Each structure stands twice: as C-alpha cells, then as structure tokens.
Amino acid sequence: MTSGAVTAGRRPPPAGRAHRLPALWLLLLAAALVVLAALSVAIGTRDVGLGDILAALGGRIETIAEAAVAMRIPRTLLALLAGGALGLAGAIMQGVTRNPLADPGILGVNMGASLAVVVGVAWFEIASAYAYIFTAILGAGAAAAFVYVIGSLGRGGATPLKLALAGAATSIAFSSLVIAVVLPRADIAGGIRAWQVGGVGGATFERIHPVLPFLAAGFVVALLSARKLNALALGDELAAGLGEHVAATRAIAAFAAILLCGATTAVCGPIAFVGLVVPHLCRLLAGSDHRWLLPFSALGGAGLLLAADIVGRIIARPAELDVGIVTAFIGAPFFIWIVRRQRVRDL
C-alpha cells in the first residue's frame, strides 16, 4: 500500500527539466562506474599498494602484486562489457514483450546459448572463439523465439506468467539436455561445469577481443531502436497507427538483445537476473522513455555486474564467489518484489 502512495506522489517532472534531470543522473552513474572500476582493480584476494596498481596499469608485471593487478584489468573490462550488454538486453526484452519479468535468464535465452555451446563443444569440436560466439548467439536466438512463441499462444498474448513458465520449462529441459550431453564426456565435464555457474574470473584480453564486434553491433542496433520501442510501449494497435512496422521493430530489437546476451554467455557463461533488475531500477531514475532508459540500463548493468564481482571477491576471501551466484542472490529477491508489487490481474 505504501509503495502505491509513493509512486502516486512521484509526479513526472515539468517539461523544461525533463531532459536535464536524467542527463545529470547519467553523469553520476558514469562517475560511479569509474569509482567501481578503480575499486575492482584495487580489491582482491591479494592486497596491493597504489604503486603496484600504477605500475601494472603502465604495463609492468614484475612483482606478484603487479601481476595480480594486471589480471584484474581485463576482468574489470569484461564485467563492464558483460554487465552493460545484459542490462541493455534486459531493457529491450522488457520493452519488446511489454513484460516486467522479462530477463535473458528467466526466459531461458542464456540456457539456450549454453546448450548450443555444450553441443558444439561435445559433438562438433568447436574450439575457436568465433565459433563459440556464433553457436551461442544461434542458441540464444532459437531459445528466445521458442519461448516467445509458446508464451504468447492463446488469449492475452505473452503474459508475464506464461512467459516465465515457458522460460522455466525450457530452462529445465535444456539443463537436462546439457547434462545428457556432458555426462558421457568426462574430458569436457569439468570445464563446462565451471563455465555454467557464470563468471568473469580468468578473463584475458585475448578472450574479450573476439566478442567486441558482436557487442558493438548489439549496442548500436539496440540504442537505435529506442524510439521504436517507445512506440511499441503504446500498444500494438497504436504503434501501427503511428506508422511503425510492429513485427519488424520487435524482430530488430530482439535481434540486438540476442546478439548481446548470446555473445556475453559465450564468454562468461549464463548470468541471470542482471537484465531483470537493472531496467527496473533505471526506470526509477530515467522514467520510461527508452531513449534514456537504454543508455541508463547499459551503464547500470555494467555497474551492477562489476559491483557483484567485487562483492564476490570480498565475502568469500580467500576464495571467490562467482559473479553469477552473487547476481542470483541480488536478483531473486528483486524478482519476488516485482511479482508482489504487481496486481494479480496484471500477472
């Protein structure tokens, strides 16, 4: 009840300030990212001094401390990229499906990418980074299309419950199949099990490099589709009336989201809930205009994943908690909060 009163009290800002306020928040968010990135380089299992950090940033890896810092730099970069991609993908999926529970993890898209990669490794002996990424994107796309078709059958279209259930069912089926593929292959089981938890540890510049073109393409297409997503938010009929090609818009935006989460999953394994949490939080700051919401979600996702990675390094010292587990712990309560906030009729 109180939450309803609060949202009712938050009036949209007057037109003149509308553009200045989100811009300010965006700057603040970017500043927070810089701070987080600095923390991520400085904090870890091994304590390092400022001198070591500066030396490692300059490219020196002579002492152990400098080497540790040098390993944290690509890791930080990967967390930023993956988080940004997942946050943005989540915002697009929520826009395309007009569904508050849409998330690459919940909808089974990440699991689709996983299954495709596992099948590729086990049966087709893919090894090159590009083959990994292509397979993952293919799997993500197939899973997304499948879940969306199942979830939107029948009356009421893609309701949150139907989509979430279709996603959960698909995830369980895919994870059974992943096990079925991996089980007879002791040679690849260990690596795949570690990859499946979802993490950015052990990142190197060589591993990040191949996904950059895919992520860049995803980011560009996603940000360009912002205006069209605004039209979709009005409802299909109204959007069509405004001259939008509804189906084409959906397909293009969804393609961007699939590029983003497929490429991310190929490098980091399936990471859930970032795409769910971030757009909701960003909506509080940026409102529902996708031209603001999408960049906010990208920065917010980067920040959340990086923060989760730092937390994972701190709380389990001297071991590390994989970032996928930390995000699940932040994300699942948030998911429940969203479910509780909705009226039953809207679910």
Name the site residues for another protein (rule: CB under 8 A). 101, 105-106, 150-151, 153-156, 159-162, 164-166, 168-170, 172-173, 175-177, 179-180, 183-184, 186, 189-190, 193-194, 196-197, 272-273, 319, 321-322, 324-325, 328-329, 331-333, 335-336, 339-340, 344, 347
Of the chain, the end-to-end C-alpha distance in Å amounts to 18
CB of 116 to another protein, least distance (A): 17
* For another protein, the closer CB: 65 or 102: 102
d(C-alpha 215, C-alpha 203), whole Å: 16
d(C-alpha 107, C-alpha 151), whole Å: 10
Q: Compute the residue count for the chain.
A: 347
**Amino acid (one-letter) located at 176:** S
**Amino acid (one-letter) located at 6:** V
CB of 168 to another protein, least distance (A): 5
* For another protein, the closer CB: 154 or 202: 154
CB of 268 to another protein, least distance (A): 14
* For another protein, the closer CB: 29 or 115: 115
Write phi, then psi, for 342 (nearest 5 degrees).
Answer: -70, 150
CB of 262 to another protein, least distance (A): 20
* For another protein, the closer CB: 35 or 336: 336
CA angle centred on 299, ends 258 and 326, rounded to 5° = 75
* For another protein, the closer CB: 25 or 334: 334
d(C-alpha 40, C-alpha 51), whole Å: 16
CB of 111 to another protein, least distance (A): 11
Cα 344 from chain centroid?
27
Cα 190 from chain centroid?
25
CB of 151 to another protein, least distance (A): 8
* For another protein, the closer CB: 230 or 264: 264
d(C-alpha 116, C-alpha 263), whole Å: 12
Q: What is the DSSP letter of 230?
A: H
